[in-house]
Structure 1
Amino acid sequence: MQQRQLGRQGPMVSAIGLGAMSFGGIFGPTTEAESHACLDAMWDAGITFIDTANIYGMGVSESVIGRWLASRRVPVTIATKASIVSGPPRRIDNSAAHLRAELDASLKRLGVERVDLFYIHRRNPDEPLAEVIGALRDLEREGKIGGYGLSEISPETLREAHAIHPCLAVQNEYSLWSRQPELGLIQECARLGVAFVAFSPLARGMLGHVPLRLDQVQDGFRGANPRFTEPNFSRNIARIDSFREFCSARGWSVPATALAWVMSRGDHVIPIPGTRRAERLREWLPLPSLSAEDLAAIEAVLPAGFAAGDRYGDHQLQSIERYC
C-alpha cells in the first residue's frame, strides 16, 4: 500500500484510510463480528489509518475499534472527532471543556492514551477560533493528541487556524460527485502543508461495485439527502451507469477507479471510504493507474456538477461552512 503523510508534521499513513461511521449502525444494522472482520480485511490490505468519531453510534464505533485493537495489537493511526451534540436540539460545542471531556471518553472507548489526530467535527462560529485552536494546542502539548484537524470548513478558516497553530488535516466530503473543495480548499491545504482527508469518496455507496436501489438508501441518513430522493436518485444512477460502463470496458473496479481519481488530485489527498463489510473493502483494490487521457475521459463522463440535488438536506447544512 502506498503511503502519504498526514500533514507536513504528521505521521506517514496508508494512502487510503477506512471511515468507520457505518460501524455505529448509521447505514443499517451491523454486528461487532462483522465490523472486526472488516478491520481484519483492512489490515490485510495494508490500510493503517482509521477514522471514527464520538457520535458514530454514540460511542459504538470507537468501542468496536477499541476492542479490535485490544485483541489484535497492531500499529494503526487513529483519528477521531468531537463537537457535535446530538440533542435535541442538535448543536455544535467547540468549548475547551467539551472537547477535553469528549476526548477523554473517546480515549477510554478506544483503549489508548492518545490519538494521532483529533478533529473538531464542525465549527461553531459563535466561539472564537483562537480559543478553540488554543484548546486543541493544549491537548497536543499534553500528549493526548498528535495534532488537530478541522472538518467541513472553508479555506479562510483553515488559514486563520493554521496561523494560530499548525493544522495536520482538513476533512471535507470530496468525490466525483462532490467537488466543492476544488474551489480553494484542496489548494490551500497543499500550500500550507495540510493533509486533505476526503470522506465519502465513493459517494455514500453510489460509486460502489453494485448499483444501489432506492429502497437501500432509506436509512434515515441518506433518505433525508436530496441526492437520494426522487427524481434526483434515478437521474444520478443513470449518470453513474455511464461511469460503470467506462470502468467495465477497462476491466477496472468502479470503487477502485473512483478512489484512484480522488488520489490523483494531489499527493496530500487521502480518501477514507467507509464500509462495515470485508467483501466491500476488498473491492477497493487494486487501484488502476490513471493516465491523463483516462482522467480526461472520466471528466467527460462525470463532469464537475453532474449530481442532481444537494449533498445534504437543509437541516444538515446549518453547521457546514459554505464559501461558494
Structure 2
Amino acid sequence: MAEQQAIQIPRVKLGTQGLEVSKLGFGCMGLSGVYNDPVPDDVGISIIKHAFSRGVTFFDTSDFYGNNTNEILVGKALKQLPREKVQLATKFGVGWDANNQLFIKGTPEYVRSCVEASLKRLDVEYIDLYYQHRIDTTVPIEDTMGELKKLVEEGKIKYIGLSEASPDTIRRAHAVHPITALQMEWSLWTRDIEDEIVPLCRELGIGIVPYSPLGQGFFAGKAIVESVPTDSFVNVLPRFQGENLERNKKLYLQIQKLAEKHGCTPAQLALAWVLHRGDDVSPIPGTTKLKNLDSNIDSLKVKLTTEDLKEICDLIPTNEVAGASLPDSFTQFTWKFANTPLQGEQGVNLSMEAKSVGNTFGSVSGLSRKN
C-alpha cells in the first residue's frame, strides 16, 4: 500500500485511569499456535513490527499462550520497538499442573509469582495492562485485586484488567481498585455481553477489549474458503462442526454479499462492526499473515451508519447461529459462571472439574503445555 493511502489508526482511552491505546490492537496468541501452526520467532517478530509500523501499539499476550513461549516472543519483538510507545497487555490465572490438567488460580501469592515470571519472560520493567485471565471461583475477588493493587503501587503493572468476569465480580473488583479494561468475546455471532456486561462497563468507566472479533476466524472465511489444520482449536468448537457449520455458512454468505455493497471483504465488515461498537472499544484480532494484518487494519476505513449497523445485526440474528460458542466443558470458565465467594467463604474448586477440559486442550497442539 502506498504511504499516502495508509490509514491513521485512531487512539482510544480504555477506562478512566489514563490508558490510551490504538483503536485496533493485535492479539499475539496465534503466533504460538492454537488456530494454525506456530510461526518461527523471526516471522512472529516481523509481524509485530509490521503492525507497529502501521500504527498498532496495543499488543496482547498471556503466560498461558504457547506454555509461556508467546510472552518470550513478544518480549523479543519489544526489544526492536520503542517501549514507551507500546501498550503491552498480558494475563495470569490459567495454567497446567504436573498432570497436564488445566487449573484456574487467583490467590495473592500466585498473582505475585505470575507477574514476576511474566516480567522476566517479557524482559520489561513494567506491564501496561495486567489481566486476570479467568476468574478463580474459590478465591474472593477482593483478595486477588488486593494483590494487583499492590503491584500497581509498586510500579510493576500500570493498569488492571479482567477477562470473562461476571457482573458481580466486576463490581466488587472495581470497588477495590478501578478496572481499566474488560476482555470478552464479542463478535457478530457472540453478542451475549451486550445486555448486561457492556452497560455495566460504561456505568463504571471500564474499557472493552473484544477478543475473537472475527468469530475465531469464521468471518474471515476459516473453514469456508480456508481450510482448518487438523490440530486447530477451531475443530473443538461446536459452530465449526458438521451440520452447525453448514447452517452457519449461510450467515457467512450473507455477510459476504453485504460486504460487496460496502466495497470491503467479509472480514473487514465484521471487524468494522465491532470497531463501531463504541469509543471505549479496542478489538484485538490476531493473524499469522501480513496480508490479513493489513486487511484488518484497513477495516478502519469502512464507515458504517446506525442503519448499516442495524442491517448487519439483522443479517446475523444470534438465535440463528448454529451451535454454542464453546464446548459444554469449557463454559464453566466463562463470565456466566465467574462469581467468587465473599471473603471468609469457601468457593468451588475448579481444578478437579477442569480435568476433562485439560484433556481436550491437550489434544490441540496450540494450547497444549507441550507446545
Shorter-normalised TM range: over 0.9
Cα deviation for residue 171 of structure 1 reads: 0.6
1:116-265 equivalent positions in 2, closer than 5 A: 116-208=128-220, 212=224, 215-216=227-228, 218-265=230-277
Aligned to 1:83: 93
Distance 1:36 1:105, change over 3 A: same
Shift of residue 300 of structure 1? Answer: 2.1
Does the 8 A contact of 1:41 with 1:282 survive in 2?
A: no
TM-score under structure 1 length normalisation: 0.95
Match of 1:303 in 2: 317
**1:48 equivalent among 42, 57, 63:** 57
The count of residues paired between Structure 1 and Structure 2 equals 324
Question: Separation in 1 of the partners of 2:227 and 2:27?
Answer: 23
Contact 1:214–1:233 (8 Å) recurs in 2: no
Residue segments in structure 1 that go unaligned for 5+ positions in a row: none
Q: Which amino acid aligns with 1:226?
A: P
Give the equivalent residue in structure 1 for 2:27.
Answer: 19
Which amino acid is the alignment partner of residue 82 of structure 1? F
Q: Partners in 2 of 1:170 and 1:106 — Cα distance?
A: 20
The reply to whether residue 322 of structure 1 matches residue 336 of structure 2 is: yes
Query: In structure 2, what is the Cα distance between the partners aligned to 1:182 and 1:221?
Result: 26
Q: Residues 97-127 of structure 1, C-alpha deviation per residue, up to 9 Å, x if partnerless?
A: 1111111111111111110111111111111
- State the SS of the aligned residue for 2:336: coil
How far off its partner does 1:199 sit? 0.3
Tell me, yes or no, if the aligned pair for 1:4 and 1:14 is still in contact at 8 Å.
yes
CA contact (8 A) 2:19 2:159 kept: no
Offset of residue 215 of structure 1: 4.8
Rg larger for: 2
Aligned match of 2:75 in 55, 66, 70? 66
The 3-state SS of whatever aligns with 2:91 is: strand
Match of 2:6 in 1: none
- Name which of structure 1's ranges 12-21 and 88-97 shifts more when overlaid on structure 2: 88-97
Quote how far apart the aligned CAs of 1:7 are: 1.0
Distance in 1 between the 2:64 and 2:297 partners? 29
1:58 Cα offset (Å): 0.9
Letter of the 1:294 counterpart: D
Identity over aligned residues, as a percent? 34
Secondary structure of the equivalent of 1:183? coil
Following superposition, the deviation at residue 137 of structure 1 comes to: 0.5
Structure scoring higher RCO (CA < 8 A, sep ≥ 6) equals 2
Unaligned residue ranges in structure 2 (runs of 5+): 1-8, 339-371
Task: Report the more deviating stretch, 302-311 or 162-171.
Answer: 302-311
Task: Please say which of residues 214-223 and 304-313 is displaced more in the overlay.
Answer: 214-223
Distance 1:73 1:285 in 2: 21
SS of aligned partner of 2:219: coil
More displaced, 261-270 or 194-203?
A: 261-270
1:323–1:128 Cα change, 3 Å: closer
Give the match's secondary structure for 2:131: strand
CA displacement at 1:276 relative to structure 2: 2.0
Q: Which amino acid aligns with 1:83?
A: G
